Amino acid sequence: MTEQIPGIYDPCGIVEVESSPLAHRPDTENGLRLAVLSNTKWNAAKLLRATVRALTEQGLTFAAVQHYDKEHFSSPASDEVIDRIAADNDIAITAIGDCGSCCSACVNDGVRLEQAGLPTAVIVTTEFEHEARLQREARGMADLQLVVVSHPISSLTLEQLDGRAVEAASQARAIWFATAPINHVSQQAPSA
Amino acid sequence: MTATDTRIDHQDLVEYYFDQRWSDGLPVVPPTPHRVAAFVDVLGGDPHHFEARIPPRWGSLTTELLAVNMVMAGCKPEYAPVVRAAVLALTDSRFNLNGIQATTHVVSPLIVVNGPMAREIGMNSGGNLFGSGNRANATIGRAVRLIMLSVGGGIPGELDKSTLGHPGKYTFCIAENEQESPWAPYHVEHGYAPEDSTVLVIGAEAPHSVTNHISDDPQGILDSIASAMSTIAHNNAVLGGSCTVVLGIEHARTIANFEWTRDDIRRYLWLNGQNLWDAVSYGNRYAPPGGKTYNRNLPKWYPREDGRRVPIVFTPDDIHLFIAGGTAGRFSAFLPGWSTATTPVLRAIDDSVVPAEGGDLQCSDGACRL
Q: Under an 8 A CB cutoff, do B57 and A15 touch? A: yes
For residue A184, the model assigns a pLDDT of: 53
Q: Three-state DSSP class for A125?
A: strand
Distance (Å) from the alpha carbon of B244 to chain A's nearest alpha carbon: 20
For residue B9, the model assigns a pLDDT of: 75
Q: What are phi and psi of A27, to 5 degrees?
A: -80, -20
Distance (Å) from the alpha carbon of B98 to chain A's nearest alpha carbon: 7
pLDDT above 90: residue B365: no
**Residue B78 burial (10 A CB sphere; 0-12, 13-18, 19+):** middle
For residue B353, the model assigns a pLDDT of: 86
Q: Under an 8 A CB cutoff, do A7 and B339 touch? A: no
Q: Contact, B65 vs B122, CB < 8 A? A: no
Disruptive mutation site among B18, B65, B295 for chain A (greatest number of A CBs within 10 Å): B65
pLDDT above 70: residue B319: yes
Host H or E run for residue B249: helix B249-257
Nearest to B58 by CA among A165, A62, A139: A139
Give me the mean pLDDT over the B25-45 stretch: 97
Domains of chain A: 32-177 (3.40.50.10350)
* Domain assignments of chain B as residue spans, ordered by start: 10-205+341-353, 207-336
Q: Contact, B107 vs B203, CB < 8 A? A: yes
C-alpha separations of A177 from A38, A83, A117, A118 in Å:
21, 22, 14, 11
Computed over every residue of chain B, the mean pLDDT equals 94
Lowest-confidence segment of A96-105, A152-161, B7-16, B93-102 by average pLDDT: B7-16
Host H or E run for residue A80: helix A79-88
For residue B356, the model assigns a pLDDT of: 81
**Residue A145 burial (10 A CB sphere; 0-12, 13-18, 19+):** buried
Residue A151 contacts B where some CB pair is shorter than 8 Å? no
Q: Is the dihedral of CA B67, B73, B75, B80 positive or negative?
A: negative
For residue B4, the model assigns a pLDDT of: 37
All residues of chain B having their beta carbon less than 8 Å from the beta carbon of residue A108 are 98
Q: Under an 8 A CB cutoff, do B153 and A134 touch? A: yes
pLDDT digits (tens, 9 = 90+) for B127-181: 999 999 999 999 999 999 999 999 999 999 999 999 999 999 999 999 999 999 9
Disruptive mutation site among B103, B238, B286, B295 for chain A (greatest number of A CBs within 10 Å): B103
Residue B150 contacts A where some CB pair is shorter than 8 Å? yes
C-alpha separations of A50 from A57, A153, B130, B257 in Å:
10, 13, 48, 61
pLDDT above 60: residue B30: yes
Give me the mean pLDDT over the B298-323 stretch: 98
Residue B38 contacts A where some CB pair is shorter than 8 Å? no
Q: Cα(A6)–Cα(B329) distance, rounded to whole angstroms? A: 52
B3: Cα separation from own chain's centroid: 42
CA trace torsion B275, B281, B284, B285 (10° rounding): 100
Disruptive mutation site among A9, A18, A49, A141 for chain B (greatest number of B CBs within 10 Å): A9
* Residues above pLDDT 70, as percent of chain B: 95
Q: Cα(B337)–Cα(B203) distance, rounded to whole angstroms? A: 5
Q: Cα(A155)–Cα(A152) distance, rounded to whole angstroms? A: 7
Report the half-sphere exposure of B256 (CA within 13 A, side-chain side). Answer: 15
For residue A191, the model assigns a pLDDT of: 40
B345: Cα separation from own chain's centroid: 10
How many other CB atoms are there within 10 angstroms of residue A3's CB atom?
A: 11
Please give the single-letter amino acid code of residue B368. Answer: C
Q: Contact, A20 vs A111, CB < 8 A? A: yes
Q: Contact, B322 vs B247, CB < 8 A? A: yes
For residue A1, the model assigns a pLDDT of: 42
CA trace torsion A71, A74, A75, A80 (10° rounding): 30
Burial per residue of A31-43, b for 16 or more beta-carbon CB atoms within 10 angstroms, e otherwise: ebbbbbbbbebbb
Host H or E run for residue B347: strand B345-348
How many other CB atoms are there within 10 angstroms of residue B62's CB atom?
A: 22
Q: What is the mean pLDDT of each run of 10 residues along chain A (192 residues)?
A: 67 94 96 97 96 96 97 96 98 97 96 98 97 95 97 93 96 88 46 39
Give me the mean pLDDT over the B325-348 stretch: 98
Q: Please give the ipTM for the structure prediction.
A: 0.87
Q: What are phi and psi of B78, to 5 degrees?
A: -65, -15
pLDDT above 80: residue B3: no
Give me the mean pLDDT over the B301-319 stretch: 98
